Amino acid sequence: MRLIFAGTPEFARVALAQLQAADFEIALVLTQPDRPAGRGLKLQPSAVKQQALTHGLPLAQPRSLRLDGRYPEDAQAARAAIEAAQADAMVVAAYGLLLPQWVLDTMAAPSSTGQPRWGCLNIHASLLPRWRGAAPIHRAIEAGDAHTGITIMQMDAGLDTGASLLVRALPIAPADSTASLHDKLAQLGSDLIVQALQQLPSGTLLAVPQPLEGVTYAQKVDKQEAWIDWALPAPQIVRRILAFNPAPGASSNLQGEALKIWQAQALPGVPPTGLPFGSILAAGHAGIEVAAMNSIVNITQLQRPGGKRLAAVEFLRGFALAPGSAFGVGGVDAAGGAP
């Protein structure tokens, strides 16, 4: 089976590598243009581009696929490449560009030899219709979901509204961050897309319309969301810390520094009455205990600006806490200054 693969980050690269390992023929790879990254803001290729270059796969990086959009010349070139590929199906995983109707129509129409095609299949990191949209892993952790999973979806013109072909659930462990859950889902998604493509020609794979109930949307994470509000209950704060690890990273100000908080846990008990939210209750080998709404957050890993991620006990060796120290609420430090 000849495939076009459209994807950009590491989640997609894992799927592309698995398709290659399963001996699918990759006729074309679509990925987003190189983006500036790092301190020097040098242009960096996507994970999918690096995979394609390493294995000599045909590659295109259109800025848009909209024929009537800002970059019509890119879209026209992509259209020519897609038509020339004569692929049996397109696999999409975290591509980052919307597929316009002409792409869906092209991949649904018979090939030039009259052979039927299988359309566009999406690897989506949630149990649709829950968490349609851009950040399903983040939002599942933030919401405290017990399970997430992978849906292999037949794409249509809507936002993650297509019929489900294969679905597999995955439990979310209490300590799962977006980083750890991403890796589990990337592997599950790569396994599942291979299964789906192997089953398609037999006609045993049924397209099941998504239910109308239970629809939620995973909005893209805004950096301002990552500022910790210590007036929230500890379990909610901890879920947000885990959800925003590794990006954008939960943050809070302490003694004039904007610290990244990477790992934490909710402790039993309540803080003493009268203390402001964000007050540090204890600090030692087990972590930094912080007062939240009727609860206590224990920070176990954090990072100073320009520094490394450190366990709390190591962090405290180089960071002297002043008496009565308190983390800021939201993006304002305890002394009232903005970040």
Three-state DSSP at 132 gives: strand
| DSSP SS3 for 262 | strand
For residue 269, what are its two tokens?
């008990």
Q: Which residues contact 180 (CB under 8 A, 6 or more apart)?
A: 173
User: Which residues neighbour 84 within 8 Å (Cβ) at sequence distance 6 or greater?
Assistant: none
Q: What is the pLDDT of residue 336?
A: 41
Q: Quick one: tokens of 14?
A: 């894992």
Q: What pTM was estimated for this model as a whole?
A: 0.93
Query: What stretches in the chain show pLDDT beneath 50?
Result: 335-339
Closest CA to 246 of 3, 4, 10, 2: 10
